[in-house]
Every structure is written in structure tokens, then in C-alpha cells.
Amino acid sequence: MTSVLPSRRFREARVLIGAALLMLVAMIAVEMGGVLGVAGLVEEETGRAALVAAQMLAANAAQVDAARYHAALRADGWGMVVFRNGTVDWSLGEFGPLLPAWWPWHSREQWEAAGGTVAGPLALGTRQVMVACQPLAGGGVARVAVPATRARTAGRWRMAGAVLALVVGLGGAFLAWVLITRALGPYRELLAEAVRIAHGPGEEPEDRFLVGTFKDAVRRLEASEAGARQRVDELEVLTQVLTREASFGVVVTDMLDVVQAYNPPAQALAGDELAVGRGLPAALCSDGRLALGERVVEVRRFPLLASTGASLGHVTFLSDRTSLEALERTLAEREQMAQLGELSAGMAHELRNALATIRGYLRLLPEADEERRARFVAAMEQEAGELGGLLERFLRFAQPHELLRQRCDLAELVTEAAARVAASSPAVVPKLALAPCEVVVDRMAVGVIVENLLRNAVEAVGGTGSVRVLTAATGDYARVVVEDDGPGVSPQVADRLFRPFVSTKPSGGLGLAMSRRLARLHGGDVVYEPCEGHGARFVLTLPLGDPA
């Protein structure tokens, strides 16, 4: 693809350059003609001089024909004179003034000072002549006046060439000045505008400054065009949102929260308080969910920015969450009922097992002797005690728990919990590898979590294995890792391990569920990690330092 130059200005430049070239060609032609003419005249004069020399030689050689040769020289306009002792000794033709004898020089000394050259062309009557003098023996002088018609012609050629060269030079300079002025006019205007925009070139050359300013202006225009296109796209999208049917409301406000535009869904949700030119209702000036009459509306506000980043106001989106809110309440109620059903089923299962055991002993009691009767009563008391402990743990799990946080060392809490477990199960003493970790927690709650994990591990190894406990700080959290080399947890149970009453032991199945709940109240968690081969690993994580 070729670019089209500005035709008018470059056409004027071509005309000026063409005129300058024509004048230059004319000057060269005249100069060449003059040179050729002068060369021809020189050649002709040389021939004439040779002819005259031959005639004079012939006249000196043949005295009888001297008159004829002298007449030929006089006819050609030659003039000769010989001065001896201040008087004319011999003359031929028109030779000039008698005095001084060395005319046009005043004396021989002046002639010698001039280098003994030829003088002329000089005016002699109506003619132009070239004059030459030559000293003779005895103090005489010979003067020759030669017609200078060819010299006049050569002079005319030289004058014409000089005048034409002067005209061409002046014309060329004028044309160059006009051309430069016409060419640099836009450059000066561009440079002045660049200086106005960029506040001067400083130390940078003007051409580089102009090119840099032009490139910077092009980049600004491209960025402005891209911003304008983006702005057009945003306005088109906003226009489509405002004009087309949509399931959510859109309200456009200025920087003072005065309503500029809105769509029908926004009017339906906000009511008659929403109107163009009025302030945005105060309830819609912040994000969140709120009740507007019988509806639950979610409000989201976003800044409306210009292409330069300046704020133009806000775009507020209104979503009707009434149905979603009702659905969320229904799902929450169903989830609570499901959890209650799961807890009830677990409790019923545990109560049924305990009551079945007690009922069995009661059936055997009438027929038992005193020794067996005492054993049966002791067994029923034990079963009733375990049932009471189960109900107590269930109540602790179900009731809300308010944390009483205080700063303490996690390693110290683990040491105390390990001592309590070792006192009740002396067959297995946990091995501790503890690093100091400062946390802000509920001491009793964290002690219950660690004790539950340790008791589960001790029960899993059955008095013949080992239990290891370590603490460490990793990132923003403290970790308590409890490992055992028992049989581990089956994959079928692992997925439901932290649900209430899910356990592989006959101890109630509420320990892990309650431990996870207490850990999450602290902003941490309790997770199960399977070990390679056999065994189990439970990890308690708690935030380090003060809670957020």
C-alpha cells in the first residue's frame, strides 16, 4: 500500500525545482556557447597573426613588394609606428597618439613595470585596438595597434555569461529560499506546537524532539482511542442492561449519588423512592442484603470510571433474593433436622444397647444366687454409669460453647493432657517431641481436643504399641500431630470419621466430632491423615498469636 503525498505543496516544490534546473541549463548553454565562441576567435586570431607575420616577413625579404604588403595590413586595420629620437621614423595606418611614444604607457619604465604585456582593448577612433610596444636599438620604440573586433565579441560573451550567471545565482538563491520557506513552514508550525505541548526541547536536537513528540502524540491518541472504544463498549453494555429486560435492577448515579438512570426491575424492587434527579435511597448506598417491604434484596455497588480513571459515580445492582432466602432457610432447616435425626439415631442406638444390657441382667436377677445377684447389680450400675457419661458428652456436644481465650504455650497444654492419659492408661506412655508454640486459645477446650486424640490413639494400639506426639509452627499455624502404630482406620469409616456416633470403638463416638467442632471455633481444624503401612495420624491446627 503506497502513501499519497500532499499534491499541492509538492507540485509547487516540483515547479520551483524545475525552474531552477531550466535556469541552470540555460546558463550552462550560454557558457558553453561563449567558451566555443572564444575558442573559435582564438583560433581565428592565431591564424590571422600567423598570416600577418608571414606578410611582414615577406615585406622585409622583398623590398620591391613591401608597398603591397603594407597596403594589405592597412586594409586590415593595423597601425604601426617607429619612433627614433622622439620623432616618427616610419609609420603605417592609424597607430594612435604621437606622445607619449610608449602609449598607452607613459614611459619605458612603466611598460617594464607592467611586465611588457599587451594593453587593450583600447578606443582608437571608432575602433577597439590591442596595443603592443617593443624597444629598438639606439633608444627607439616600435608600436603596433591591432584591431580588437574579436576581443569585443569575446568580451560580450563573457559579459553575457557573467550576467546570466549572476541572474541564475540570484534566481536560484531566491527559488531555494522560497522552496525552503515553503518546505519549512509546516515544520516550524509543528515545532511550535510541539514546544507548546512538551514545554521545549531542552538539550535535545529539534528534529529528534519533534519526532519524539510526534510519536508520543501518536501513542496518546492510540491510548485515547482504545479508552474511547472501551468506554463505548461499556456504555453499549450498560445501555443494553438498562433497556432490555433483565432479572436484576441497575441504577446509575453520579458522584453525589443522584440517580441518573435505572431500569424497570430496579423500579420494581426499590419502589417510588427511586426517581431520576433524586438522591439514591439510603438503604441502597451500601453493599449487603436488606429487606425492602416483603422482598429480600441484595445490593452490590461498583465505581463508574472514565477512561482516565476519574470517578464518574456508581453503578448499583439490585438482585431479588426473596426466593433464594426462603430456599436457604428451608435447606438450613432440613440440614438441622438431618443432623438432629442423625444425633437422635446415634443416641437411640447407644441407649438401646445399654437398656438391652440392663434388661438382660434384670431377667437373670430373680433366679440368681446372692453372689451372681451382686455381680449382676454391679454390672447394671456400671452400664448405667456409662450411659450417664454418654448423655453428659452428648449434652456438651450439643450445647453452644463460648471460648475463654488466653495466651499460653501449646507444648505445655499437650504435656498436661499426656499426663492425664498416662495416669488412666499406664500401659502406653505417649512419646513427646514438643516445640514451644505460643497460641491464644481456650485452655480447657484445647485440652479436651488433645486428650480425645491421645485416648483414641492409646485405645487403638491396645496396650502393645506406641503413641507419638509432636508440636511445630508452620506458617501462620501451630500443629499438634498425634500418631499411633495401631491397625489404622478403614477407608469406609475414614469418610465419616468426624460425624457424631461414627466410631470403631464402643465409647460413644462423640470425641472426634466434638474435637473438630472446638478446633474450628478457634479458627483451626482437626484432620485425619493415613499412614503408610498401618497406624493413623491426626493433626490439630490452631492459629498462631492473637486471633483475627
pLDDT tens track for 119-144? 877 888 777 788 888 888 777 888 88
Quote the Cα angle for 189-192-193, to 5°: 85
Provide the residue type at 223 as one letter: A
4 DSSP assignment: P
Instruction: Give the separation between CA 148 and CA 328, rounded to whole angstroms.
Output: 128
Residue with cell 499406664: 426
pLDDT given at position 398: 57
List, for residues 432-489, the tens digit of each pLDDT value.
989 888 899 888 888 888 888 888 888 888 778 889 999 998 888 999 999 988 888 7
Instruction: Give the separation between CA 288 and CA 325, rounded to whole angstroms.
Output: 13
Q: Among candidates 441, 468, 466, which has minimal Cα distance to 541?
A: 441
pLDDT given at position 318: 86
More confidently predicted of 173 and 151:
173
pTM more than 0.75:
no
Can you point out the beta strands (E) in 355-461?
405-409, 431-433, 438-442
Residue 80 grid coordinates: 604601426
Contact between 482 and 526 under an 8 Å Cβ cutoff? The reply is no
pLDDT given at position 519: 87
Helix (H, G, I), strand (E, B) or coil at 250: strand
The upper half-sphere exposure of residue 144, i.e. CA atoms within 13 Å in the direction of its Cβ, equals 15
As to burial, measured by CB atoms within 10 angstroms (0-12 exposed, 13-18 middle, 19+ buried), residue 101 is buried
Q: In what order do the strands lie in the sheet with 119-124?
A: 87-92, 79-84, 141-147, 127-135, 119-124
pLDDT given at position 5: 39
Instruction: Give the separation between CA 119 and CA 133, rounded to whole angstroms.
Output: 9
Virtual torsion, Cα 205, 210, 214, 216, nearest 10 deg:
40
Residue 385 grid coordinates: 454409669
User: What are the contacts of 235-243 at 24+ separation with CB within 8 A?
Assistant: 238/315
pLDDT surpassing 80 at residue 230:
no
List, for residues 255-291, the tens digit of each pLDDT value.
888 988 888 888 888 888 888 888 988 888 888 888 8
Strands 467-474 and 477-484: antiparallel
List, for residues 361-408, the tens digit of each pLDDT value.
788 888 888 888 888 888 888 778 767 766 765 666 555 556 788 899
Instruction: Give the separation between CA 115 and CA 372, rounded to whole angstroms.
Output: 172
pLDDT surpassing 80 at residue 67:
no
pLDDT given at position 61: 47
Average pLDDT, the chain: 75
Q: Count the residues in the chain.
A: 548
